[in-house]
Structures are given as C-alpha cells and as structure tokens.
C-alpha cells in the first residue's frame, strides 16, 4: 500500500534484514535537465546549475537548508547522502550536523567525496574543496572515491591488483580510527559494473570483495591480502578460535598459478559456504567441498569461495608493500 510515512517503510525493510536504503529522488527543485534530487551545492544537476552562495549567506541560506534536513527527519528519514559534499564549506556542515544531531541523534550522514584529479582541479581554480580526512569530522561514512580510479585500473587490467590493495591499506593510516568507507562498484554517474565487466560477468562478483586491508574490532580482525590471482579476505575471531576465508579470483585468469596457500590452515575438506547462500549458478563452476592439503594449499577458484574454519588462529598477515614495509635501515 502506498505510504508517505518513512517510518512504516523502515519497519518493512528492517524485516528484510536491510540496514540502509538511500531514497532517490526526494524532491524536484531544478527545471531544465533536472534529475529530481536535492543538491546542497546547487539547485539542480551539472549542466543546469547555479551554485548556491554559501559565503555571505550564513544567516539566510544556511538556516533554510538546515530546516530542510530537520523537515525530512520529522517525516521519518534517518540518514542523508550528501552529493558532492567536498564542495560545501565545512563550517556549514558542522552547524548542520550539530543542529540535526541535537534533535535526531541517530541520523546517519554519508558524504559523496571526489577523486584526486577532481580535487586538484577544484584547488587549481581556488574553489571550495575538502579532503576525505576533513569530511570525517562531520560525516559517518564517505564514498570510496579516493581509490576509485585505482580500482577501475585494476579491474580493467591497467594496474596491478596489489597496487589497489596498497591504497586501501593507506586508508588505515591516514583516516581516523574506526573510519567507515562506503565501498561501491558503481555510482549514479559512473559506468555500471555490468558494463565494466561486460566480457566476464564473474569478475563483477569476485570484485564485490572490497574492504580496507586490515580492520580490527573488539575480539575480531579482518585482513585482506593478495595471493595471485586472487584477493583473500580472512575474518578471524580470537575468543572462539574460528574464522571465515573468502577467496576471490578477481583477475579471472590463473597466470600460470594453479594453487594458492593459506599458511596454517589445517588439512581437510571445507564446505563452500556459497552453498548456504543459494548461489546456484556460481556453484556450477565451483566445488561444494574444497580440499586443503600440504599446509594450506588449495586450488585457485574459478570465481570465488567462502570457507569456515575452527580450532585454529591463522593470524593472517596483510599484504607486504615495499611502499610501507621496506626496511631501509637494513637494505
């Protein structure tokens, strides 16, 4: 039944085990070439925009925009995706976040940031521009545009998979502890993943594994590394001595490698958990039981496998990087 009550929609999607739904569009403002979205840097989209003038309008424009945020919160919206948030003054974001959080403390803020070349272009034109590190002062999540170009290069074979993972590891050094990146394979103004991987649709599935190279939470640790031609992600819980291993053949070619090795993984047959996920088409290409022998050696998967292990801690190491790990004192 159609409804204008966002809280009713929220209860329905919660029962589907979905955490976030980003509603687009919300409200039409532009006229010519409008996309039906509210942009806090302008009133329409790219070719039809006159940028909002934040400077000098702190007592007029700013309160009006903040009231718009509160209006939607009153109607049950509990999060906002701010398009091109990098190009809006930080002081406005601070005031807006403070005003909204005081009334709606559980409201989630997502910033669409921009890639490096666009950031440099804005700086060269002496326009307002903020880095991801600055945006973390206000926003809960940020788009992964700081690594998007490197990811596209890796997917399309123009750069190594390892170079992309090195950039993900760099994020853990330059952003605040417990930072959250919105990993994505497509955005509204980028190519669809089906087009990017049009010659091999399985590559699209394999690349959905995107996380920072090392993430630690209380009692658990996620480590992502590279075992050519695969990305390997290990989620390990120390207290229960168990974990999950995801092995993703993102290159979709063996490069002569028939095996990869997961050090300390016990010999035996491991159930491929994709069976429980109901990915039938994938299982026609993969083994349902994955044999491991010779101290962690297993076949390179055709696409991807997920294994569960118990009674051992692998303490998997992140990818070695000459850029970060080179021991210059003993070279």
Ranges of each domain in the chain: 6-209, 220-310
User: Could you tell me if residue 256 is left (phi over 0), alpha (psi between -120 and 50 degrees) or otherwise beta?
Assistant: left
Model pLDDT, residue 124: 95
Q: What pLDDT, in 10s, does the model give residues 101-152?
A: 999 999 999 999 988 998 999 999 999 999 999 999 999 999 999 999 999 9
Cα–Cα distance for residue pair 168/213, rounded to 1 Å: 6
Whether pLDDT at 52 is above 50: yes
- Going from the C-alpha of 313 to that of each of 139, 155, 235, 252, 318, the distances in angstroms are 35, 31, 10, 29, 15
Model pLDDT, residue 177: 85
Model pLDDT, residue 16: 61
- Going from the C-alpha of 177 to that of each of 147, 167, 216, 225, 236, the distances in angstroms are 18, 16, 10, 20, 19
Q: Are 229 and 256 in contact (CB under 8 A)?
A: no
Higher pLDDT, 36 or 328: 328
The CATH architecture that domain 6-209 belongs to is: Alpha-Beta Barrel (3.20)
The answer to whether the 6-209 and 220-310 domains have the same CATH topology is no
Q: Are 128 and 97 in contact (CB under 8 A)?
A: no
Model pLDDT, residue 293: 92
**CATH for the 220-310 domain, from 3.40.50.300, 2.40.50.100, 2.60.60.20, 2.60.40.1180:** 2.60.40.1180
Q: What pLDDT, in 10s, does the model give residues 266-302?
A: 999 999 887 776 667 777 788 889 999 988 999 998 8
Let me know how many helices (H) and strands (E) the chain has, helices first.
Answer: 12, 13
Cα–Cα distance for residue pair 33/42, rounded to 1 Å: 13
Q: What pTM was computed for the model?
A: 0.78
Q: Are 214 and 169 in contact (CB under 8 A)?
A: yes
Contacts of 320 (CB under 8 A, 6+ apart): none
């Amino acid at each position: 039944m159609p409804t204008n009550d966002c809280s009713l929609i929220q209860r329905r999607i919660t029962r589907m085990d979905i955490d976030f739904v980003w509603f687009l569009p919300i409200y039409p403002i532009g006229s010519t070439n409008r996309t039906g979205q509210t942009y806090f840097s302008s009133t329409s989209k790219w070719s039809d925009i006159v940028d909002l003038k934040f400077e000098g309008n702190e007592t007029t424009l700013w309160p009006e925009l903040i009231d718009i945020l509160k209006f939607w919160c009153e109607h049950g919206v509990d999060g906002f995706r701010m398009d091109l948030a990098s190009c809006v003054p930080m002081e406005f974001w601070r005031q807006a976040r403070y005003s909204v959080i005081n009334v709606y403390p559980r409201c989630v803020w997502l910033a669409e940031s921009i890639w490096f070349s666009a950031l440099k272009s804005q700086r060269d034109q002496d326009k307002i521009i903020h880095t991801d590190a600055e945006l973390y002062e206000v926003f809960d999540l940020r788009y992964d545009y700081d690594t998007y170009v490197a990811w596209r290069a890796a997917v399309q074979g123009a750069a190594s998979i390892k170079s992309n993972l090195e950039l993900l590891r760099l994020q853990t050094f330059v952003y605040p502890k417990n930072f959250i990146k919105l990993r994505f394979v497509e955005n509204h103004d980028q190519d669809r993943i089906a087009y990017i991987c049009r010659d091999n649709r399985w590559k699209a599935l394999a690349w959905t594994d995107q996380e920072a190279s090392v993430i630690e939470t209380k009692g658990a640790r996620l480590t992502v590394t590279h075992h050519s031609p695969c990305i390997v992600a290990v989620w390990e819980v120390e207290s229960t001595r168990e974990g999950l291993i995801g092995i993703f053949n993102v290159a979709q070619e063996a490069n002569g490698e028939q095996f990869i090795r997961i050090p300390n993984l016990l010999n035996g047959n491991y159930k491929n958990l994709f069976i429980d996920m109901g990915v039938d088409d994938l299982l026609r290409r993969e083994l349902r039981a994955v044999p491991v022998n010779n101290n962690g050696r297993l076949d390179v998967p055709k696409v991807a496998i997920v294994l569960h292990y118990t009674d051992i801690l692998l303490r998997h190491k992140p990818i070695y990087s000459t850029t970060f790990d080179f021991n210059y004192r003993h070279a």
